Chain A
Amino acid sequence: MVMHITDPAILELPRRRKLTENGVLGMALVVFVEVMFFAGFISAYLIVESAALPGLWPPPNQPRLPVERTAFNSVVLLASGVVLAFAQRSFLRRGAGTRRLMGIAILLGAFFVVFQGAEWLALIAQGLTMTSSQLGSFFYLIVGAHAVHAVAALIGLGFAWRALASGRLTASFFGAAQLFWYFVVLMWPVIYALVYL
């Protein structure tokens, strides 16, 4: 039996108002978990570093981490986050430059990942590997986990960029992709300060 609602009071109910987009809420929960994931790694790293004998951290037979070059790369990553914030402002105003700004943010993020990859290759060639020392193990674990997150976030932003081009980008998807990228951007200075410096 099919029932038809004819009561005008019910038919004219206002649409349910949302506190935030579903995608953004879901991504916020993911980010919560991911922050704890990195906090666990960083805590383990700090314990191992503090247990090393004085003058033996970083291990003397291991290459030094490229502090200056990575500082430059960190600035590139932060710039990517700033550009994405401008892209969001443009998106909310339905501005014409959203796609270009998103593209710049994605390119800056991709530059960060590629630059990190190049640094890794140099470090491996110099003898810093997963099994060469505790520094190597933690370095590749923490920085590698961050790189995996960066790649995943870039893929999400790439999908958002394509959806924007075809006029199908929703605020929910863009907000979720954006939140994940901000997490990647803001987690990096913490990792840099603790692992590199």
Chain B
Amino acid sequence: MKRTAPILILLACLLWPVAAQACSACGAGREDRNQKAFLSTTLLLSFLPLGMIGGGLWWLNGRVRERFPDEFVDRDA
């Protein structure tokens, strides 16, 4: 079992690129322009929500500092 495990892992790794073809950004675009559209929209849909969450946290941080400057004074003292 100890000898066969690395071989099985290696085979699984070899199968990965085939699985990646199921990803629309990797395999669906037949032409360069179409491939770029898939890639750019995948990036948009991946990072837009993260950017909005990050922006919300950044705003929240600024708002806390502005509205509650003395909020943690007792705790930090």
A47–B68 touching, CB < 8 Å: no
A32–B68 touching, CB < 8 Å: no
Q: Take A36-B48, A39-B48, A51-B34 as given contacts and tell me if A19 and B67 are in contact as well, using a CB distance cutoff of 8 Å.
A: yes
A46–B41 touching, CB < 8 Å: yes
A50–B44 touching, CB < 8 Å: no
Q: Which residues of B pack against A, CB within 8 Å?
A: 29-31, 33-34, 36-38, 40-41, 44-45, 48-49, 52, 56, 60, 63-64, 67-68
Distance in Å: Cβ of A15 to nearest Cβ of chain B: 13
Q: What would 12 more interface pairs be, CB under 8 Å, given A19-B60, A36-B45, A43-B45?
A: A17-B68, A19-B63, A32-B52, A35-B52, A39-B48, A40-B45, A46-B40, A46-B41, A47-B34, A47-B38, A49-B37, A50-B31
- CA A36 – CA B41 in complex, angstroms? 12
- A179 at the B interface (CB under 8 A): no
- Tell me which of B33, B36, B68 has the highest count of chain A C-beta atoms within 10 A of its own C-beta: B33
B67–A47 touching, CB < 8 Å: no
The 3 closest A-B pairs by CB, nearest first: A50-B37, A43-B41, A50-B34
How many A-B pairs with Cβ below 8 Å?
A: 44
B41–A47 touching, CB < 8 Å: yes
Q: Which residues of A pack against B, CB within 8 Å?
A: 17, 19-20, 28, 32, 35-36, 39-40, 42-43, 46-47, 49-51
- CA A35 – CA B30 in complex, angstroms? 29
Using Cβ atoms and an 8 Å threshold, which residues of chain B touch A42?
41, 44
From A19, A39, A43, A47, B64 is in contact (CB under 8 Å) with A19
A39–B45 touching, CB < 8 Å: yes
Using Cβ atoms and an 8 Å threshold, which residues of chain B touch A28?
56
- CA A35 – CA B34 in complex, angstroms? 24
A39–B60 touching, CB < 8 Å: no
Show 18 residue pairs from A and B whose CB-CB distance is below 8 angstroms, ordered by the A residue: A17-B68, A19-B60, A19-B63, A19-B64, A32-B49, A35-B52, A36-B49, A39-B44, A39-B48, A42-B44, A46-B37, A46-B41, A49-B37, A50-B29, A50-B37, A50-B38, A51-B31, A51-B34
A20–B37 touching, CB < 8 Å: no
